[in-house]
Copies of this chain bind each other. A is one copy, B any other.
Amino acid sequence: MISISILGSGNVAQQLVSAFEKADNIQLVQVFSRKQNTISTLSKSVSIIQDYNQLESVDLFIIAVSDDAIAKVSEQIPFQNKLVVHTSGSVSMESLSDVNRKGVFYPLQTLSKTKEINFKEVPLCLEAATASDRELLHKVASSISNQVYNIDSTQRQSLHVAAVFVNNFTNHLFQIGAAICKENGVSFDILKPLIKETADKINFLSPEEAQTGPAKRRDTTTINKHLDFLTDSNQKEIYKLITKSIIDNGKL
């Protein structure tokens, strides 16, 4: 049995609480949440605390707070030489307090409190300074997910940047699609099967093989028609730039 406590009250903290409560071999001991009633637990054996001095000694402390609060929270843990990890994609492992052993436990997924997620499919990117800590993290991660990876800080940074492209920026393109539909009185629902298929396709083809459209074909007639159609300046610039990038890519 590995004992864990979680510090944080946001989306990641909540999803980890839910996942660990269902896990074998894991005893979730405490959740530190400064705001009351923001974390829901299934079991009464997990206590929610508001004071760092109430923290009990456990095998692993997981800090799931916003990036800029990680260092400060790590300094508040009233123990020494315990394993303390954060869950951020973009913060260095080294930013954690030197008093304890350091590590990273980064779930690479878009997590919201409201939408339940199958944690078994969430890739967990682990980092630690020693082999024994990596082993401990691996046991913990495997108890809630089938996708566990050892990822160093530079690789994690690269994944975080890549995730911005495939998640944040992709979602913004969906928003542009929805805005164009709205402006022209058609339902955004018409585009949803296409969006589903676009994401599904990369399980069968590489993105390079899956690329289609006027830019890929260098179909300047259609490209110019589309640019004439667009009136919003950001939309127009995005259209031009990604079209250029697709064309440049074809030249490599």
Instruction: Give me the interface of A with B, judged by CB distance under 8 Å.
Output: 67-68, 90, 108-110, 112, 115, 117, 121-123, 125, 147, 149, 151, 154-155, 157-178, 180-181, 183-187, 190-208, 210-216, 219, 221-222, 225-226, 229-230, 234-235, 237-239, 241-242, 244-246, 248-249
CA distance A117 to B157 in the complex (A): 36
Give A187's nearest chain B residue, CB to CB.
B149
* Chain B hits for A171, CB < 8 A: 198, 201-202, 207, 210-212
A245 touches B117 (CB 8 A): no
B229 touches A158 (CB 8 A): yes
Known: A178-B207, A242-B238. A226 touches B159 (CB 8 A): no
A168 touches B212 (CB 8 A): yes
Known: A162-B181, A186-B158, A199-B199. A211 touches B175 (CB 8 A): yes
A213 touches B173 (CB 8 A): no
Q: Can you give 13 A-B contacts (C-beta < 8 A)?
A: A110-B201, A149-B187, A149-B190, A155-B184, A160-B226, A162-B176, A162-B177, A162-B191, A168-B211, A171-B211, A172-B207, A172-B245, A195-B199
Stoichiometry (number of copies): 2
Known: A121-B193, A191-B162, A201-B115. A167 touches B234 (CB 8 A): no
CA distance A121 to B213 in the complex (A): 21
Known: A155-B184, A183-B158. A207 touches B167 (CB 8 A): no
A110 touches B241 (CB 8 A): no
* Chain B hits for A115, CB < 8 A: 201, 204-205
* Chain B hits for A151, CB < 8 A: 186
* Chain B hits for A173, CB < 8 A: 165-166, 169-170, 173
Shortest beta-carbon distance from A78 to chain B in Å: 28
A198 touches B230 (CB 8 A): no
* Chain B hits for A161, CB < 8 A: 180, 226, 229-230
Known: A173-B173, A207-B175. A225 touches B90 (CB 8 A): yes
